[in-house]
Amino acid sequence: MAQVYERVALIGLGLIASSMFWAMKRDGLAGEVTGYARSAETRETAREIGLCDRVCDSIAEAVDGADLIVLCVPVGVMGDVAAEMAPHLKPGATVSDVGSVKRDVIEKVSPHLPDNVHFVPAHPLAGTEHSGPRSGFPELFENRWCLLVPVEGTDPDAIARLRALWEGFGALVEEMDAEHHDLVVAVTSHAPHLIAYTMVGVADDLRRVTDSEVIKYSAGGFRDFTRIAASDPTMWRDVFLTNKEATLEILGRFTEELFALQRAIRQGDGEHLHAYFTRTRAIRRGIIEAGQDTDAPDFGRGGGRKE
């Protein structure tokens, strides 16, 4: 594949950044890739495993001369990181991110960026419960969606170039406005994560069920909840605090649906339950038909897949 950027800087060296690096190197999508992480331990690990062509000890050094800078840090600190790197950005560079909240990131980052750089926020809908520099692998984005959320008035060439990079990773790319993005991911990701954390917390609180029984008898449903609930706690704390309105709206709707199901169970209304479960089952079929999962019953836990 053809090179898309001559120099890329990755700020934050966790799962997404490391997967981006390995994919860029696999497909020749970038010339030099620099990296920076706040933690000296993370930088040392990155150097040890060959993550990035050059691991830098400051943001200024990492972004110097970069054509693309990708913020791969928790959404709660993106504004501070943008302020720190802004004076060192090359004119004409593109700044992007991989955060799962967009309106808040745009509000926090945009004011710090000089007028002579392009800002094209992005959100790859891909991940595992693992985090840190060792967790990345180049196939992470294949056949997964990456949503681009460019700010108004952005140079179309800058958007097209970033799209080419993500498509080079094997991702499916679509553009979306920030408000709509935040509502969609509240349904598909944020609220489900909160529900998973809650269910695992409930199991932990039920002292009548011993820890060994919870682990020993983990059927598919609870097991999948624990996989989701193992995700990075800092990232998810920031997600809920920065996508507050959309998440609360979806949780309100969820609560209403839950009350209706509680009432049906209490009243023995099997017809309501059967109709509800039949309707929701169709959603699962739609996800499989869209190529975003498989109907294999043990998906994501066998076959050596890193998820």
SS (H, E, C) the chain: CCCCEEEEEEECCCHHHHHHHHHHHHHCCEEEEEEECCCHHHHHHHHHHCCCCEECCCHHHHHCCCCEEEECCCHHHHHHHHHHHHHHCCCCCEEEECCCCCHHHHHHHHHHCCCCCEECCEEECCCCCCCCHHHCCCCCCCCCEEEECCCCCCCHHHHHHHHHHHHHCCCEEEECCHHHHHHHHHHHHHHHHHHHHHHHHHHHHCCCCCHHHHHHCCCHHHHHHHHHHCCCHHHHHHHHHHCHHHHHHHHHHHHHHHHHHHHHHHCCCHHHHHHHHHHHHHHHHHHHHCCCCCCCCCCCCCCCCCC
Domain boundaries, the chain: 5-176, 180-267
Spatial distance between the Cα atoms of 238 and 231, rounded to a whole number of angstroms:
13
Q: Which CATH architecture has domain 180-267?
A: Orthogonal Bundle (1.10)
Cα separation values, 80 from 83, 186, 264, Å: 5, 24, 49
Give the least confident one: 131-145, 180-194, 291-305.
Answer: 291-305
Hey, do 5-176 and 180-267 end up sharing a CATH topology, with the first three levels equal? Answer: no
pLDDT at residue 266 is higher than 90:
yes
pLDDT over 60 at 5, yes or no: yes
Cα gap 121→94, rounded to integer Å: 10
What is the strand order of the sheet 118-119 is part of? 54-55, 30-36, 5-11, 68-71, 94-97, 118-119
Percentage of the chain lying above the pLDDT 90 cut? 74
Banded pLDDT at 155 (limits 50, 70, 90): very high
Tell how strand 5-11 and strand 68-71 pair up.
Answer: parallel
Render pLDDT for 85-143 as a digit per residue (tens, 0 to 9): 999 999 999 999 999 999 999 999 999 999 999 999 999 999 877 889 999 999 999 99
* 51 contacts 135 by C-beta, under 8 angstroms: no
Specify the CATH number for 5-176; select among 1.20.1250.20, 3.40.50.720, 3.30.390.50, 3.90.105.20: 3.40.50.720
Rounded to the nearest 10 degrees, how much is the dihedral formed by the CA atoms of 91, 124, 45, 94?
Answer: 0
Of the CA atoms within 13 Å of residue 20, those in its CB half-sphere come to 33
pLDDT (0 to 100) of residue 157: 98
Among 10-14, 25-29, 87-91, 233-237, the minimum mean pLDDT is found in 233-237
Q: Report the distance separating Cα 3 and Cα 108, nearest Å.
A: 31
Using pLDDT thresholds of 50, 70 and 90, give the confidence band for residue 304: very low
Strand partners, 34: 9, 54
Cα distance between residue 25 and residue 42, in whole Å: 20
| Beta pairing, strands 122-124 & 145-148 | antiparallel
pTM of the entire structure? 0.86
How far is Cα 33 from Cα 69, in angstroms, rounded to an integer? 10
